[in-house]
Every structure is written in C-alpha cells, then in structure tokens.
Amino acid sequence: MRISVEVDGSSYTDDVEPRTLLVHYLREHLGKVGTVVGCDTSNCGACTVLLDGRSVKSCNVLAVQADGRQVTTVEGLAEGDELHPVQRAFHECHALQCGYCTPGMIMQTIDLLSENPDPSEEAIRHGLEGNLCRCTGYHNIVKAVQMAAGSSSSAFEGSTS
C-alpha cells in the first residue's frame, strides 16, 4: 500500500506491506532509528512517538494508519543545537542511564505535559506508567518531568507540529 507521512517535518511517500508497524516503517524504511523497540507486547513504551501531536506506541500502530498524518520522533525535537525543554530536563536531572527507554520517555513526557502542564508527582507517575525504565528507578525521571513542567509551557504547544 502507498502511504504519505510527514515525519519530523519531512514528507515521505512509500509502498509498505499492510502489516508493517509504524515503528518498523520509521526504523527500516526511513532510517529513523532514534525510535526503538523494547518489547513485543506494547508494555515498555520505548517506541513512543507523537502522531498528530498525541503520544502513541508506534509498535501498536500500523504504518498505513499514519497515512496523511504527522509523526514526531525524538529526532525531531531539538532545533539545531537547541534542545527541547524536556530533553534538557532529562539531561539536567540525570533522568537516563543506558538511554534505551529515553526516546519513549521523552515523547510520553511531552504528551503528559501538554495535557497537564503542572502535574503532581502522582500524576507524573501515572502518566508514565506505560513506559518502562530499568536503570533509573524512575526517581530522576519524575524530577525531570517536574523540571520541564516548570520551564516555559509554550514549549510543549510548539513541539507537536
């Protein structure tokens, strides 16, 4: 099937097998390997991207479902050397160690903060429940989300386009 998708601001048109998952389309067709696969049961959230501005687990979306829509991956957040506020907060708070869950965590955090710009610790913890991290014990991830929430909230409105 032929699909046209906008990913991180560039337009792509490709023929894909109907069964192709969005994450495999991103990685194997487009070389967008910043988005990773961590499980096969939609539990880990490592593959989280934004689809028309809302977070989805891209292992749980078919590439054909992204036809005509906009996808934002972790590779599309920074503007040149200028990191996205959530990226900066993860760096500042040491919210990553091996970094494998990080692309998904960052994308889910952007979605969480666009829904709720001033979340409580409990709201953060529940908002990230679908993203697994094995390194950090979540402690510093929660702090990073709090730090990002304290930075300019307008950053999150612009991030999804």
Partner 1 sequence: MTVTDQPKGGEIGAARRRKEDRRLITGRTRWTDNITLPGMLHVAMVRSPFAHARITSIDAEQAKDAANVVAVVTGADIADEQGTMITAWPITPEQNTPNHPPVAVDEVAFAGEVVAVVVARTAAEARDAAELVEVDYEELPAVLDLKEAVKDEVLAHADLGTNKSAFWQLDSGSAGTGRPIDEVIEEARADGIVIEREYRQQRLIPSFMEPRSAVCDPTGEQITLWSSTQIPHICRFALAATTGVPESKIRVIAPDVGGGFGGKLQIIPEEWIVFCVARRLGRPLKWTETRSESLVSGHHGRDQWQKLTLAATKEGRVTGLKVDLTCDLGAYAGIVGGGVPVLGAWMFNAIYKWDAYQINISNYYTNKTWVDAYRGAGRPEATYAIERLMDELAVEVGVDPLEIRERSWITHEEFPFTTVAGMTYDSGNYEAATARAKELFGYDELRAEQQKRRESNDPVQLGIGVSTFTEMCGLAPSRILGQLNYAAGGWDHAEIRMLATGKVEVVTGTSPHGQGHETAWSQIVADRLGVPFEDVEVLHGDTQIAHRGMDTYGSRSLVVGAEAVVRAADKVIENAKVVAAHMLEASEADLEWSAGRFSVRGTDKGVTIQEVALASFTGHNLFDDAEPTIDATAAFDPDNFSFPHGTHLCAMEVDTETGATSMRKYVAVDDIGTIINPLIVEGQVHGGLMQGIAQALWEEAVYDDAGTLVTGSLVDYTLPTAADTISFETDHTTSPSTYTILGTKGVGEAGTIASTPAVVNAIVDAVRHLGVNDIRMPCTPERVFRAIQSGGVTTEPAQARPHFDADAGNQESLPPEGEAR
The residues that touch partner 1, with contacts defined as CB under 8 A, are 17, 24, 27-28, 32-41, 43-44, 46, 73-75, 77-78, 83, 87, 90-92, 94, 96-103, 106, 121, 124-126, 128-143
Which of 34, 7, 28 has its CA nearest to residue 100? 34
For residue 5, which amino acid is it?
V
Residue 122 C-beta: closest distance to partner 1, Å: 8
Residue 118 C-beta: closest distance to partner 1, Å: 18
Residue 8 C-beta: closest distance to partner 1, Å: 10
Q: Residues for the chain: how many in total? A: 161
- Cα(first)–Cα(last) distance of the chain, in Å? 25
- Kindly give the pairing relationship between strand 54-57 and strand 10-15: unpaired
**58 neighbors 48 (Cβ within 8 angstroms):** yes
Q: Which is nearer to partner 1, 66 or 148 (CB)?
A: 148
Q: Which is nearer to partner 1, 54 or 139 (CB)?
A: 139
- Specify the DSSP element, H or E, that contains 55: strand 54-57
**52 neighbors 69 (Cβ within 8 angstroms):** yes
Q: Which is nearer to partner 1, 114 or 131 (CB)?
A: 131
Residue 158 C-beta: closest distance to partner 1, Å: 17
Q: Which is nearer to partner 1, 70 or 136 (CB)?
A: 136
